[in-house]
């Protein structure tokens, strides 16, 4: 297939007939985050490559295999964001937000880019909603992030998700765990995949996250981090669990969850759906107490999560979740002749100022073709105007669904009739619902 008329592998278009679903989901996400005191942050789609290599972690799949990196015309190494956290951390440090009122709460929506093998639920351009909180050490902050993610998913009408949590400790207790893991995996090194054999020395915990079934089976027998938590990390984890219990949010402790990125400490969590096959994690997050310091800021306990919007839409499709239908055009103004066309432009302008969706012919089509189009786009009302209607200041307003016709004044009657029609249909809806 020719390259000039196909989209790039692993990318997808959202067509006008489908975009209302995305708008609904994104609006709900930002609204829900607002209830928790989070405001939107918008960071660039690309950053200096070091922002990601240094902070996502050199031994992660994302950095080792998945980044879209290129040299720009000014000889800079640039990378399309594979995730938001590193860029958001860069931004809040650069603009001094973390020197103001703490905690800083920021959320985001946008595209991410990873060179992965495209398949159901795995794209090269995909979209995330996420939230980050900076300057909050208490276990209640971990619970609040989990509750925010949970509220978003609930407000979207998504059902049957399970919450899995784990603690991967702090650098101190993790060092002991790494040693134990290394010993365990070294004894099985010959069976591990090539990438995992390389990870053995540098970051044995990554092996727990490997997607290869053989490595997965070996990982099932590995020592678990919670057995190695220091007193502080253990108490923190207990605190998080207590908060979740208090609000009655069910969860399962899963010692296999380590998350794919290097910066996590203490709490990590995932929301998993049983409805979309292998790519079942719709949301992942956790605490990253070392990241702000590592990026040149002060030592600052912080945490966040991200959810994949494509995967959420897949779950919603499989569960038959309903979306509020987009608004149909209120009126279609069909025209006969050039003068009517001028008049229609003026009428549409006035109606749009009143907040109505008004459509008229801009393709120069016959009356018959215009009415066919009005039908196709689902206009609620229509009128036909020619010179007679303009001279007599009168037209016939047709209710497209019922066929009912009423005579109204062109100059002043349309707005009122549309308002009345709107009130009528609202009343009918209320009656139907009761």
- Which residue ranges make up the site for ligand ATP (CB under 6 A)? 83, 114, 116, 121-123, 126, 128, 260, 279, 281-284, 306-308, 310-311
Which of 313, 309, 314 shows the shortest CA–CA distance to 108? Answer: 309
Nearest-5° Cα angle at 63, 309 to 79 = 75
Contacts of 331 (CB under 8 A, 6+ apart): 351, 356, 357, 358, 359, 379, 380, 381, 382, 383, 414, 418
Contacts 24+ apart (CB under 8 A), 27-32: 28/152, 28/155, 28/156, 29/107, 29/109, 29/129, 29/152, 29/156, 30/107, 30/109, 31/155, 32/148, 32/151, 32/152, 32/155
Distance CA(383)–CA(431), nearest Å, equals 28
DSSP 119: B
Distance CA(197)–CA(184), nearest Å, equals 13
Output the smallest distance, CB 226 to ligand ATP, in A.
20
Kind of pairing between the strands at 161-167 and 125-134: unpaired
Output the smallest distance, CB 282 to ligand ATP, in A.
5
Q: Taking the C-alpha atoms of 411, 417, 419 and 422 in order, what is their torsion angle to the nearest 10 degrees?
A: -150
Q: Classify 413 as helix, strand or coil.
A: helix
Closer residue to ligand ATP, CB minimum distance, 123 or 240? 123
Closer residue to ligand ATP, CB minimum distance, 86 or 283? 283
Output the smallest distance, CB 308 to ligand ATP, in A.
2
Output the smallest distance, CB 114 to ligand ATP, in A.
5
Exposure on the CB side of residue 43, measured as CA atoms within 13 A: 28
Closer residue to ligand ATP, CB minimum distance, 105 or 114? 114
Q: Classify 15 as helix, strand or coil.
A: coil
Output the smallest distance, CB 79 to ligand ATP, in A.
15
Exposure on the CB side of residue 329, measured as CA atoms within 13 A: 19
Distance CA(359)–CA(329), nearest Å, equals 7
Closer residue to ligand ATP, CB minimum distance, 115 or 419? 115
- Give the nearest residue (CB) to ligand ATP: 308
Closer residue to ligand ATP, CB minimum distance, 128 or 335? 128
Output the smallest distance, CB 243 to ligand ATP, in A.
22
Closer residue to ligand ATP, CB minimum distance, 234 or 260? 260
Kind of pairing between the strands at 69-71 and 104-113: unpaired
Closer residue to ligand ATP, CB minimum distance, 128 or 167? 128
Output the smallest distance, CB 50 to ligand ATP, in A.
19
Output the smallest distance, CB 231 to ligand ATP, in A.
29
Q: Classify 110 as helix, strand or coil.
A: strand
Output the smallest distance, CB 124 to ligand ATP, in A.
7
Closer residue to ligand ATP, CB minimum distance, 192 or 307? 307
Closer residue to ligand ATP, CB minimum distance, 211 or 242? 211
């Amino acid at each position: 297939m020719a390259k000039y008329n196909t989209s790039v592998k692993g990318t997808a278009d959202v067509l006008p007939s489908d975009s209302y679903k995305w708008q609904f989901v994104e609006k709900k996400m930002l609204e829900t985050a607002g209830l928790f005191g989070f405001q939107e942050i918008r960071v660039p789609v690309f950053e200096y490559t070091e922002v990601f290599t240094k902070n996502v972690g050199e031994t992660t799949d994302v950095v080792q295999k998945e980044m879209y990196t290129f040299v720009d015309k000014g000889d800079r190494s640039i990378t399309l964001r594979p995730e938001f956290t590193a860029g958001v951390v860069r931004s809040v440090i650069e603009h001094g937000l973390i020197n103001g009122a703490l905690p800083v709460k920021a959320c985001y929506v946008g595209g991410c880019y990873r060179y992965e093998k495209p398949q159901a639920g795995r794209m090269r351009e995909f979209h995330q909603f996420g939230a980050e909180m900076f300057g909050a050490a208490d276990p209640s902050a971990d619970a609040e992030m989990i509750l925010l993610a949970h509220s978003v998913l609930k407000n979207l009408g998504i059902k049957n998700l399970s919450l899995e949590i784990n603690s991967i400790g702090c650098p101190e207790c993790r060092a002991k765990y790494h040693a134990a893991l290394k010993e365990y995996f070294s004894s099985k090194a010959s069976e591990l995949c090539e990438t995992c054999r390389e990870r053995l020395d540098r970051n044995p915990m990554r092996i727990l996250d490997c997607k290869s079934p053989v490595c997965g089976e070996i990982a099932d027998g590995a020592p678990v981090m919670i057995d190695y938590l220091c007193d502080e990390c253990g108490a923190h984890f207990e605190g998080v669990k207590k908060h979740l219990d208090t609000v009655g949010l069910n969860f399962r402790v899963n010692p296999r969850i380590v998350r794919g990125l290097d910066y996590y400490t203490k709490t990590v969590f995932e929301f998993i759906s049983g409805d979309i096959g292998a790519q079942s994690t719709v949301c992942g997050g956790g605490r990253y107490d070392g990241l702000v310091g590592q990026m040149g800021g002060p030592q600052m306990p912080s945490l966040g999560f991200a959810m994949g919007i494509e995967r959420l839409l897949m779950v919603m499709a499989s569960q038959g979740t309903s979306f509020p239908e987009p608004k149909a055009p209120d009126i279609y103004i069909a025209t006969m002749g050039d003068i009517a066309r001028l008049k229609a432009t003026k009428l549409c302008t006035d109606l749009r100022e009143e907040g109505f969706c008004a459509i008229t012919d801009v393709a120069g089509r016959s009356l018959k073709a215009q009415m066919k189009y009005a039908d196709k786009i689902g206009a609620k009302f229509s009128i036909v105007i020619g010179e007679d209607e303009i001279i007599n200041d009168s037209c016939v307003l047709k209710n497209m669904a019922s066929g009912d016709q009423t005579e109204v004044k062109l100059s002043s009657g349309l707005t009122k009739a549309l308002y009345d029609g709107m009130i009528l249909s609202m009343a009918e809806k209320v009656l139907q619902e009761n």
